[in-house]
Structure 1
Amino acid sequence: MILYFRDNFFNAGGTEIVNEYREPVGLVDLRSAFGSALNVYGGDGRPLFGGRFRLLSNKWAVTDASGGECGLLRYRMSFLSKRYEYDRYGAGVFEVTSPAFSRDYEIRNGKGELVVSFQKISGWFESSAFRLTVHTGWIDGYEWVAVIMGMHEIRKRHRQSGA
């Protein structure tokens, strides 16, 4: 499964999720310009997943269609790479890594197997866009969209706090 999706420049409103044939297959709804929360909808308009920061925390909670928390994404300090961990409740911990100045990321399960890869494909003056490739596993590609957008929100928070 290959999906393309992006952020909005003003951090609010909906953006399409498209497949490798550029056909619309879903929507990312960035709920507010003043907060960091989102919903991911399938091609039929049904809510599938959501994401938001936990209260007073830099941890990103991923929720299922009913609003129940199904996983937690957190940043991991690393010297020469970008590292995050996604704890998918009931499935284990997945490691998200990228070399320091790369735009390519890998997500591996606890056994070290490649589950998902994604690339940031946008330019300097564009809102961030991503290409997601699901290689294996039973976790839905739309859930990975919520995870990747959460990673993007964590990075934006870190940049803002450093400024």
Structure 2
Amino acid sequence: MDHQILFLNDNFFSSGTTIIYDENKTQVGELDLKSAFSSSVDVLNQTGSVIVSGKFRTLRNRWVVTDYDQNELGELRQRFAFFSKKYEYDAGKRGVYEIKSEAFSRQYEIYDSQSKLLVKFEKVSGFFSSAAYRLSSYETSMPAWEWIAVVMGVNAIIKRNNSAAANSGGAT
């Protein structure tokens, strides 16, 4: 499959499982958001087996993606940028991928080291409800399951940054 579209969402309290759908609204897996007190996620296939997981590294603002045996697949980190949002996913020997978005955009694009567009994901809800994403994968070089863990990592970094900003304002 050259082009794959998946839909996934976060729960309002960031815990429990949510369903991953394809463009035909067929369930293709689940997202286990573990608990409201941690940001870790498991991406499960249709039989409920863990395919990939994502979580923050201890005391760091970096998101690590692992396979079902806890072997590290890659690490996501935020990059400093003016007037835009940038992240970098380092997948080791498989390459380094750049995740970019305009400052107030709800759409993100993932590029390989040759600036080839591989994946688009956009936030399709989230104002008074939990965040939901539409993931369009244009390349099969990396499984869509791994990109789901990366997308949830971007979401977790944004939540962590927003929480830190809210907690730091007003105390003088």
Assess same fold via TM > 0.5: yes
State the alpha-carbon separation in 2 of the partners of residues 89 and 133 from structure 1.
23
Match of 1:57 in 2: 60
State the alpha-carbon separation in 2 of the partners of residues 39 and 49 from structure 1.
6
Is 1:111 the counterpart of 2:130? The answer is no
RMSD: 0.8
- Matched-pair identity in %: 45
Residue pairs, 1:83-94, within 5 angstroms: 83-94=86-97
- Structure 1's unaligned 5+ residue stretches are none
Match of 2:46 in 1: 43
Match of 1:101 in 2: 104
Is 1:18 the counterpart of 2:38? The answer is no
Higher strand share: 1
- Structure 2's unaligned 5+ residue stretches are 167-172
Give the greater-gyration-radius structure (CA).
2
* CA deviation string 1:24-57 (max 9, x = no partner): 0000000111111010011222210000000000
Match of 2:84 in 1: 81
User: Size of the alignment, in residue pairs?
Assistant: 163
Shift of 1:136: 1.1
State the alpha-carbon separation in 1 of the partners of residues 106 and 41 from structure 2.
23
Q: What TM-score comes out, normalization by structure 2 length?
A: 0.93
After the TM superposition, which of the residue ranges 114-123 and 12-21 deviates more from structure 2?
114-123
Match of 2:159 in 1: 156
Q: What TM-score comes out, normalization by structure 1 length?
A: 0.98
